[in-house]
C-alpha cells in the first residue's frame, strides 16, 4: 500500500462570478467545494489507477471533518491526526477567463502535535511499501520536519517520493538522509537554488550537478507541456510528450507523482516508470477536476510518450 501524506490540506472552493465586482457585493450561483491539497490529489489518482493508498496528514475542526467526508465519498481510505485548530479554506474566484485566489495559510501546529504526527507516521509505516509526501508544511512545524519523516522511512527501508519546494525541500536536500525521489518543476528548482533554471536540458543538468542532489535515486524535473528532464543515478533522460487539448493542468504534477509511485510499486523498468508518470500527468491536464484522470485513455497516451537517454 502507498501512503500519501498531506500536511496542510484544504477545502478548495471555487466561485464562478462574472463580472467580479471589487468593493461591492458578488452573489455566487455556481460553487464547487472539494477536498484539496497536493497529497490528496496524489491519493485520488492512485485510487483511479486501481492501487491501494492510504491518505494521511493533519486535519482539524469542521473543515477537517468536511475533508474526511469528501474522501470517504470518493472511496479514498484515510487516517489523519486530528489537531486543535481548524483546517483551511482556499478560494478561487473565476471571472472573465481569469482566476483570483485567496489562500489561507492554515492552522499552526503545536510542538506536541508535531511529535504526535511523527509517531503516527512511524506507526503507519508498518503496513506501507512506499510513501509520497506532497506540499507545504503547516505553520508551527520546523522547516526540517520532512527531514524527520525521510529519516524514519529510510531507517525502515521504505522509499519516499518528496514533492515540496522552497525551504522545506532545501532542508531535506542539505541533510544526510535523502529521499528516494523528488519531482521539482523548473520554477521550484530556480527558487530553491537561487539561480535561473529554464526548460532546457543543459540548464537542468547543470543545476542537478550540485552536491545537494547527490544520493537521490530519481529526480524528475517536470516542464508542463514540454514533458520532463530526469536524472536516474548518473543517467539523464529527456521525455517528450504529445501536444494535448488541455482543460485544466492544475494538479498534473501530483498526478505525475501518483503515476510514478504506482509504477514503482509494480517494479516497472525505468522507461515504463517514466512513461507512466508522464501519462498520468497528461491525463490530469485533459480533465476539469484537479487530481482526476480517465484511465480509459491511458494506453493511447502512454504509447505517445518518448523517452530518450541524453549525455
Ligand atoms: P502542479 O503544481 O499543478 O501539480 P507541476 O508544475 O508540479 O504541476 P507540471 O510540470 O506542470 O507539474 O506537470 C507535470 C506533468 O504533467 C508534465 O511533465 C506533463 O507530463 C503533464 N502536463 C502538465 N501540463 C501539461 C500540458 N499543458 N500539456 C501536456 N502535458 C502536461
Instruction: Write out pLDDT tens, residues 29-43.
Output: 989 999 999 999 999
* Cell 464547487 found at: 32
Closest-CA residue, ligand 1 atom 26, reads 225
What would the pLDDT profile of 50-97 be if each residue is shown by its tens digit? 999 999 999 999 999 999 999 999 999 999 999 999 999 999 999 998
Residue 99 has pLDDT above 90, yes or no: no
Average pLDDT of the residues in 181-197: 95
pTM of the complete model: 0.96
Quick one: average pLDDT of 262-283? 98
**Rounded to the nearest 10 degrees, how much is the dihedral formed by the CA atoms of 21, 24, 30, 32?**
100
Please tell me the distance from the alpha carbon of residue 43 to that of residue 132, in angstroms, as a whole number: 9
Burial code (b: 16+ CB inside 10 Å, e: under 16) for 92-107 equals: bbbeeeeeeeeeeebb
Which architecture, in CATH terms, is 2-18+29-310? 3-Layer(aba) Sandwich (3.40)
For ligand 1, atom 24, the nearest C-alpha belongs to 224
Nearest CA to ligand 1 atom 7: 253
Average of per-residue pLDDT values in the chain: 96
Q: Which of 154, 221, 227 is nearest to 190 (CA)?
A: 221
CA of 272 to the centre of ligand 1 (A): 18
Give the pLDDT score at 84. 97
Task: Tell me the three cell numbers of residue 133.
Answer: 509526501
Tell me which residue has its CA closest to atom 14 in ligand 1.
253
Quick one: which atom of ligand 1 is closest to the CA of 305? 20
Cβ atoms of 176 and 168 within 8 Å: the answer is no
- Please determine, for residue 176, whether its predicted confidence score (pLDDT) is greater than 90: no
- Please give the ipTM for the structure prediction: 0.98
Band of residue 109 on the pLDDT scale cut at 50, 70, 90: very high
DSSP bridge partners of 238: 229, 308
Least confident of 69-73, 245-249, 278-282: 245-249
Q: Tell me, in angstroms, the distance from the centre of ligand 1 to residue 284's CA.
A: 8
Q: What is the percent of the chain where pLDDT is above 70?
A: 100
Of 166, 213, 224, 164, nearest in space to 191 by CA: 166
Query: Whole-angstrom Cα distance, residue 146 to residue 57?
Result: 12
Question: 139: which strand partners?
Answer: 108
Amino acid at each position: 500500500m502507498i501512503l500519501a501524506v498531506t500536511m496542510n490540506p484544504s477545502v478548495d472552493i471555487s466561485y464562478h462570478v462574472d463580472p467580479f465586482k471589487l468593493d461591492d457585493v458578488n452573489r455566487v450561483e455556481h460553487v464547487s467545494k472539494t477536498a484539496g491539497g497536493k497529497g490528496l490529489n496524489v491519493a485520488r489518482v492512485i485510487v483511479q489507477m486501481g492501487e491501494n493508498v492510504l491518505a494521511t496528514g493533519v486535519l482539524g475542526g469542521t473543515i477537517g471533518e468536511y475533508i474526511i467526508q469528501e474522501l470517504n465519498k470518493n472511496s479514498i481510505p484515510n487516517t489523519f491526526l486530528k489537531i486543535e485548530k481548524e483546517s483551511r479554506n482556499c478560494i478561487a474566484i473565476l471571472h472573465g477567463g481569469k482566476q483570483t485566489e485567496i489562500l489561507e495559510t492554515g492552522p499552526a501546529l503545536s510542538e506536541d502535535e508535531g511529535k504526535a504526527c511523527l509517531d503516527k507516521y512511524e506507526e503507519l509505516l508498518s503496513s506501507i511499501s512506499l510513501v509520497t509526501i506532497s506540499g507545504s508544511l503547516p505553520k508551527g512545524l520546523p522547516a526540517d520536519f520532512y527531514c524527520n519523516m525521510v529519516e524514519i522511512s529510510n531507517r525502515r527501508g521504505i522509499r519516499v517520493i518528496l514533492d515540496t519546494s522552497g525551504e522545506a525541500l532545501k532542508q531535506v536536500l542539505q541533510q544526510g538522509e535523502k529521499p528516494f525521489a523528488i519531482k521539482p518543476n523548473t520554477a521550484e528548482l530556480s527558487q530553491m537554488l537561487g539561480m535561473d533554471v529554464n526548460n532546457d536540458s543543459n540548464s537542468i543538468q547543470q543545476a542537478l550537478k550540485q552536491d545537494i542532489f547527490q544520493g537521490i535515486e530519481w529526480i524528475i524535473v517536470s516542464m508542463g507541456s514540454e514533458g520532463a528532464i530526469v536524472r536516474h543515478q548518473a543517467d539523464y533522460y529527456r521525455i517528450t510528450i504529445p501536444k494535448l487539448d488541455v482543460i485544466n493542468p492544475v494538479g498534473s504534477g501530483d498526478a505525475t507523482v501518483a503515476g510514478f509511485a504506482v509504477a514503482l510499486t509494480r517494479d516497472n523498468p525505468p522507461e515504463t516508470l517514466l512513461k507512466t508518470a508522464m501519462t498520468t500527468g497528461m491525463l490530469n491536464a485533459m480533465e476539469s477536476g484537479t487530481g482526476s484522470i480517465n484511465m480509459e485513455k491511458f494506453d493511447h497516451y502512454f504509447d505517445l510518450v518518448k523517452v530518450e537517454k541524453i549525455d
